[in-house]
Amino acid sequence: QVELVESGGGLVQAGGSLRLSCAASGGTFSSYDMGWFRQAPGKEREFVTFISWTGAKTYYTDSVKGRFTISRDNAVNMVYLQMKSLKPEDTALYYCAARVAGGGYYSRAREYDYWGQGTQVTVSS
């Protein structure tokens, strides 16, 4: 059983930056692919980005390409989401998710087995 705890959310002005962190415990972190998803009020949860268990593969939804960067540190069981040039439409509850490494790219919520509670990101205009 993997437990995930997100942190780093907050209120930021448009154009600003935030760095989200996700701490994992209870499993062999280096054997899990990781993803970030987000959910805005009244909308479905949507994929943001993915990183493979080694960190060699990453994948981003089009709306965040060039602005967001996912990374991981398997030595300390952490995954990060660096967000720059934030826009009001990035406002959402951001979730960290994990799945047993599968060798592919995974962008659907149902493909992930473990979820954190989320951290709120609010971008003001």
> What does the mean pLDDT of the chain come to?
97
If one counts every other C-beta atom within 10 angstroms of the C-beta of residue 30, the result is 14
On the question of pLDDT at 1 being above 90, the answer is no
Mean pLDDT of 5-25: 98
DSSP reduced 3-state for 27: coil
Alpha carbon of residue 44 to chain centroid: 16
Residues 37-77 pLDDT 10s: 999 999 999 999 999 999 999 999 999 999 999 999 999 99
User: Can you tell me which residue has the tokens 């995954």?
Assistant: 79
Alpha-carbon distances, residue 53 vs 78, 96, 98, 101, 102 (angstroms): 11, 14, 10, 6, 9
pLDDT bucket at 84, cuts 50 / 70 / 90:
very high
Query: Are the beta carbons of 49 and 64 closer than 8 angstroms?
Result: yes
